[in-house]
Amino acid sequence: MFVQEISEHLTKKLIPFWKGMRDEEYGGYYGYMGYDRQVDKEAVKGCILNSRILWFFSNAGLLLQDESVKEEADHAYAFLRDHCVDRENGGVYWSVTYDGKVEEGMKHTYCQAFAIYALSSYYRLTRNEEALQLARQLFEVVEDKCTDPLGYLEAFSQDFRPVDNEKLSENGVMAEKTMNTLLHVFEAYTELYDVSHDEVVGERLRQILRMFADRVYNPSRRRLEVFFDKEWNTLIDLHSFGHDIESAWLIDRGCDVLGDPALSGEMQEITKALTACVYEEAYRNHSLANECENGKVDTTRVWWVQAEAIVGFVNAWQQDPSRNEYRQAAEDIWGFVKEHFVDKREGSEWFRNLKENGDITAEEPIVDPWKCPYHNGRMCMEIVKRLSK
């Protein structure tokens, strides 16, 4: 029942909704739908949003072998290729206007990562060599422009001069390095390595895993630190429950793709600890709390956190089937999601943030530059792939 419900949610709710956001006139997908389900056809189109839509339709096309879904991926790819890529300076812009002109030309490592992630998946679906070549070019941009001797820097002007990292800094700090960006570079490189078997990419994956183990993971607190200065000194006492459970399963997957048993064994000790800590500290009332800052838990229920928890707990149960409580937690959280997060109104998708009791916190947008089919769509596809017989 669990898998069947999630499969039907993907095919009958998420895919039709995102097909409906397609912009036939200017390309890509509309960048905004308000809580009232009204689409702003002239809203900014975030390049992260477009990349995530491309990733979603590419992977749904692979899973379902549905030509109409592949056609959506083709549509998303054309917009990314023609409007989101800076052919002069390299890299992907932060956002473009509704008709495909540069709106915010800054470059962010996070944004490059999602384009690599999407292009690699699109190549897996279509074997379009142009897409793979573009993914490789963006990999080279990140490695050439966005690194220092200790890891990945984040925010740059259009011509790659360093700027303040306002886009990925929160909680009152200005971070020069973040766990979040590192995670998504790792995720993107995992996908690129899986389709290309490029050993340069593989070596960077190994180096990023060392960064997680040596710089980001806090063994005494069984968590990943979140915001850092250039030297990886942590800037805040913050436990991001959603990022930790997401990191656990993405690191496990990356290790599987790399195929290095010794490294996998070392990292699995970390991913098991991350999952156990999230289960113990954040899983309450059929869902996951958001984060804990300076010992105070933010009990807001955030849409993407629930999606990642479902995958993360299923992954942990698959790694150790004796931990049946993880499988039960995943199914329990899905029950909360379908009851409270899924918007029952026609022509909508998921709500963004809820209170612990399932009530809506505020009438927030259904679609915006950050609200996309990446987390919930990926959850559906991961569960179907992992648990279908």
**374/249 Cα distance (integer angstroms):** 15
Q: Is the pLDDT of residue 335 over 90?
A: yes
Collect all residues with Cβ–Cβ distance below 8 Å to 281 and sequence separation of at least 6.
Answer: 239, 241, 292
Structurally, the chain folds into a number of domains equal to: 1
Phi, psi of 296 (to 5 degrees): -105, 120
Q: What is the mean pLDDT of residues 36-61?
A: 98
Range name among 32-36, 164-168, 226-230 with the lowest pLDDT average: 164-168
For the record, the structure tokens of 167 come out as 């886009």
Tokens of 158: 């259009």
In the chain, pLDDT over 90 holds for what percent of residues?
A: 98
pLDDT at 100: 98
Residue 344: partners with Cβ closer than 8 Å, 6 or more residues away:
none
251-282 residue pLDDT tens: 999 999 999 999 999 999 999 999 999 999 99
Amino acid 56: pLDDT = 98
- Residue of 128, 125, 136, 54 whose CA lies nearest to 90: 136
Q: Which pair of structure tokens corresponds to residue 331?
A: 């199914």
Place of tokens 């809820």: 354
State the pLDDT confidence band at 170, using cuts at 50, 70 and 90.
confident
What contacts 24+ positions apart, CB below 8 Å, involve 29-36? 29/53, 29/76, 29/79, 30/98, 30/367, 31/98, 31/367, 31/368, 31/369, 32/365, 32/367, 32/368, 33/365, 33/366, 33/367, 34/365, 34/366, 35/363, 35/364, 35/365, 35/366, 36/363
pLDDT > 70? residue 389:
no
Which residue, chain included where needed, has tokens 């074997």? 127
CATH number of the domain to which 252 belongs: 1.50.10.10
Summarize the confidence of residues 17-37 as an average pLDDT.
98
The two three-digit tokens of residue 228, written as one number: 């850092």
Question: Which residues sit opposite 178 in a β-bridge?
Answer: 227
Domain that holds residue 158: 2-387
What was the pLDDT predicted at 1? 87
Across all residues in the chain, what is the average pLDDT?
97
Q: What does the pLDDT average to over 232-245? A: 98
The reported pLDDT for the residue numbered 156 is: 98
pLDDT in the model for residue 49? 98
User: How much of the chain is helix, strand and coil, in % rounded to 5?
Assistant: 55, 15, 30
180 residue type, one letter: N
pLDDT single digits (tens) 336-387? 999 999 999 999 999 999 999 999 999 999 999 999 999 999 999 999 999 9
Q: Is the pTM of this model over 0.85?
A: yes
- For 253, the 3-state DSSP assignment is helix
87-119 confidence digits (pLDDT tens): 999 999 999 999 999 999 999 999 999 999 999
Given a cut of 80, whether residue 329 has pLDDT beyond it is yes
Contact 226, 180 (CB under 8 A): yes
